[in-house]
Amino acid sequence: MVVPPYLLLSSTLLFPGAAAYSEYSCNGTTGSFTSGGAFAANLGRLVASLPANASSSPSLFASAAVGAAPDAAYGLALCRGDVADPGASAACLAGAFARLRRLCGADRDATFYAELCTARYSGGDFLARPGDNDNSPVVNALDVNGSTYYGWDARNATSRTLFLSLVGTLFGEMAMYAAYNSSAARMFASAAMYVNPQLPTVYGFVQCTPDLSRGQCWDCFQGLQDLNRRWYDGREGGRILGVRCSFRYEAYHIFAGMPEVRIGLQGDASSSSTPGNRGSNHKKVVIVALIVSITAFCAILVAGLLIIRTHRQRAEKRKKLQLQLQAQSRNSSATEEALKLWRIEESSTDFTLYDFAELAAATADFSDKNLLGRGGFGPVYKGKLPDGAEIAVKRLAAHSGQGLEEFKNEIQLIAKLQHTNPVRLVGCCVQEEEKLLVYEYMPNRSLNCFIFDRQRGPSMDWEKRRRIIEGIAQGLLYLHKHSRVRIIHRDLKASNILLDKDLNPKISDFGMARIFGSNMTEANTNRVVGTYMLRRASSR
Q: List, by residue number, the catalytic residues.
A: 491
DSSP H or E run through 504: none
Q: Measuring CA to CA, which residue among 375, 340, 354, 365 is closest to residue 438?
A: 354
- Extract the runs of DSSP E, i.e. beta strands, from 135-175: 149-152
CB 26 within 8 A of CB 1: yes
- Extract the runs of DSSP E, i.e. beta strands, from 300-423: 352-353, 371-374, 379-384, 390-396
In the chain the first and final C-alpha atoms are separated, in Å, by 76
Amino acid letter, residue 53: N
Alpha carbons 438 and 392: distance in angstroms, whole number: 6
In order of 295, 296, 298, 309, 319, the CA distances from 305 in angstroms are: 15, 14, 11, 6, 21
Q: Is 67 helix (H, G, I), strand (E, B) or coil?
A: coil
Alpha carbons 427 and 205: distance in angstroms, whole number: 79
At residue 54, φ and ψ (nearest 5 deg) are -70, -45
Strands 425-431 and 352-353: parallel
DSSP category for residue 236: S
Alpha carbons 332 and 326: distance in angstroms, whole number: 10
CB 403 within 8 A of CB 435: yes
Dihedral angle computed from the Cα positions of residues 307, 308, 311 and 315, in that order, rounded to the nearest 10 degrees: -170
DSSP category for residue 235: B
Contacts of 265 (CB under 8 A, 6+ apart): 192, 193, 194, 201, 259, 271, 272, 277, 281
Q: Measuring CA to CA, which residue among 525, 535, 446 is closest to residue 490?
A: 525
DSSP H or E run through 263: strand 261-263
Q: Measuring CA to CA, which residue among 52, 122, 146 is closest to residue 92?
A: 52
DSSP string, 457-498: GGGS-HHHHHHHHHHHHHHHHIIIIISSSEEE-S---GGGEE
CB 75 within 8 A of CB 121: yes
Q: How far is CA 186 from the centre of its chain?
A: 38
Alpha carbons 537 and 299: distance in angstroms, whole number: 54
CB atoms within 10 A of CB 118: 26
CB 31 within 8 A of CB 108: yes
